[in-house]
Structure 1
Amino acid sequence: MKALLLPVLLLGLVATLQAQDDPLSLLSEEEKFTGTWYINAMVANKNPPDGKRPRKAFPTTVTALDSGILEVKTTFMFKGRCHEKKILIHKTETPGKYSAFDGKKVLYIEELPMEDYYVVYCEDQGKGFRMGKLLGRTPEQNPEALEEFRKFTQRRGLLEENIFIPQQAGPWVPHDSLGPS
């Protein structure tokens, strides 16, 4: 009996040490997703007219708040001016699934096999609008991540020809946060 106990204790110790070697294994889903992200590619089921398609993408910042809530801060151009928007997304009981705008939008956050890349997929419950974004920790393109995003696009029934790669911009101070001019 004692001879069996020693190997079991050693296996437990090895597993504990391996978990300590990989600090990400100790982080929650929300904590892994915090920080600055760059939109490397986008796809939608309905393409906006050329004049309304975002040509530039600004870095997005994600902060984990209490109880599975994430605050997403993004900057966008509208009528030639930069604007900042904050969105709170709430964790649901399903891993990787979140809701926003009182449940009107459902978001899925999927970690890709390559490090520091995620796909965020959003469905608008009322309008039938669906969009996916490839997010990376750096603004540079990663061909492997882009290929995974193409596969994701096909699985979700979105058209590959609707994928576009925005120009990286910013970080900018949003004009509406500067106060009166």
Structure 2
Amino acid sequence: MAAPQTLWVGLALLGVLGGLRTRARAHVSLQPNFQQDKFLGRWFTAGLASNSNWFREKKDALSTCSSVVAPREGGGLNLTSTFLRKDHCETRTLLLLPAGPPGCYSYTSPHWGGTQNVSVVGTDYVEYALLYTEGTKGHGQDFRMATLYSRTQTPRAEVKEKFANFTKAQGFTEDTIVFLPKTDKCLEEHK
């Protein structure tokens, strides 16, 4: 079984960002006319919601991480995230492959195996992005996560409210939603 910090890496990297099932596509829409080139650049993971038991147990110990979304030669995106783990900074990169219409990506989870699908469900490109991830982990357990990306560590109250409303519409409850505290650690690598 993966260490809790290793699982956080997977969650944080998602956060920015597995297959979306047909039932999920029925109630999670994509950003209309998604423009990948505008989505590129530095983001902070400012909010998370998940149905994972591990997440519920560890959410109070999590803090903001920094991620850079960059195009990958040959297609897809590299999502490179830097976060605090055991008092030192760690960087991980995920390869997000196009998986359907623009704004849909998939990746293979290095910790859980299987494919996770990520959808950009809303963004204004300059301030925030809302992402929804779904797939399986471990022994076929359903996994769902919503992520709030912000171009700054302190998103406006209206953006946080938009994220809270989105997560509740996806069936997440208050105890499964967290706005991550701002930190000065491990954020310099992606300036």
With structure 2 as the length reference, what TM-score do the two structures score?
Answer: 0.67
* Runs of 4+ that moved beyond 4 A: none
Provide the alpha-carbon RMSD of the alignment.
2.7
In structure 1, the residue matched to 2:12 is: none
1:128 is displaced (CA, Å) by: 1.0
- Does structure 2 retain, via aligned residues, the 8 Å contact 1:73–1:87? yes
1:74 partnered with 2:76:
no
* Greater RCO, CA 8 A, separation 6+: 2
Residue in structure 1 matching 2:187, options 168, 171, 176: 171
Distance 1:127 1:51, change over 3 A: closer
Which runs of 5 or more residues in structure 2 are unaligned?
1-32
Matched residues in 2 for 1:146 and 1:156: separation? 15
Tell me the matched-pair count. Answer: 148
What is the rounded CA distance, in whole Å, between the counterparts of 2:34 and 2:167 in structure 1? 26
TM-score w.r.t. structure 1 length? Answer: 0.70
Aligned-pair identity (%): 26
8 Å CA contact 2:36, 2:103 repeated in 1: no
Q: What is the alpha-carbon distance in structure 1 between the residues aligned to residue 38 and residue 62 of structure 2?
A: 28
2:142 corresponds in structure 1 to: 128
Residues 36-68 of structure 1: per-residue CA shift (max 9 Å, x gap): 001221111124377733421221111022454
Task: State whether structure 2 residue 107 is matched by structure 1 residue 93.
Answer: no
Question: What secondary structure does 2:36 align onto?
Answer: helix
Q: Distance in 1 between matches of 2:57 and 2:172?
A: 21
- For 1:115 and 1:71, the matched residues in 2 are separated by 19
What is the aligned partner in structure 1 of residue 44 from structure 2?
38
1:140-180 CA distances to partner (integer Å, 9 max, x unpaired)? 1211111111121122111133211112233155xxxxxxx
Structure label with greater radius of gyration: 1
- Measure the CA separation in 2 of the matches of 1:137 and 1:76: 16
1:3 is matched with none
Residue 83 of structure 1 and its aligned partner are, at CA, apart by: 1.2
Q: Deviations over 1:119-140 (max 9, x none)?
A: 1211133431211111111111
2:152 to 135, 138, 149: 138
Using the alignment, how far apart are the partners of 1:158 and 1:51 within structure 2?
15
